[in-house]
Structure 1
């Protein structure tokens, strides 16, 4: 099974921001920046998680999503679960 790369996560995040949002700040340097500081609201985080679940055939419980405050936390959670499933 594959892993979620930084590039793929950022691509998904950019796609969920829509055309009206400036996504140029979504680079590898923002992995530890809270979603709220990136102007990524909870609905956008839910969209990101939903796309990841669909693409990687992985279920992410709501309780786990509540603890994901930065892109790195999403990346680490998903890749840990993918390793466990391998």
Structure 2
């Protein structure tokens, strides 16, 4: 999963109005600073699970507080599943 893939997922789950916050270098910004609450993240995690065929533990998603951390989680799980 790339950062652009994650941006698309976040926009699909939270709506276009949030997309402005996703421009630029956001890898190390917290999801809270980007305007995403835990509900939006869980919805995004569900979409990632469907799209990538991985199971994301809720606690691990909650601990992944930045796009970089969430990408690392998803990519490690997809690599392990391959």
Give the 3 Å change call, closer, same or farther, for CA 28–85 of structure 1 in structure 2: farther
Matching residue within 15, 18, 23 for 1:18: 15
Structure 1 residue 28, shift from structure 2 partner:
4.8
How many equivalent residue pairs?
82
Structure 1 residue 25, shift from structure 2 partner:
2.4
Tell me how large the CA RMSD over aligned residues is: 1.3
* Cα distance in 2 for residues equivalent to 1:40 and 1:82: 24
Gaps of 5+ in 1: none
Alignment of 1:22-33 (within 5 A): 22-33=18-29
- Computing the radius of gyration over CA atoms, which structure comes out larger, 1 or 2? 1
TM-score, with length taken from structure 2:
0.90
Q: Which has the higher contact order (CA 8 A, sep 6+)?
A: 1
2:56 matched to which residue of 1? 60
The answer to which structure has the higher helix fraction is: 2
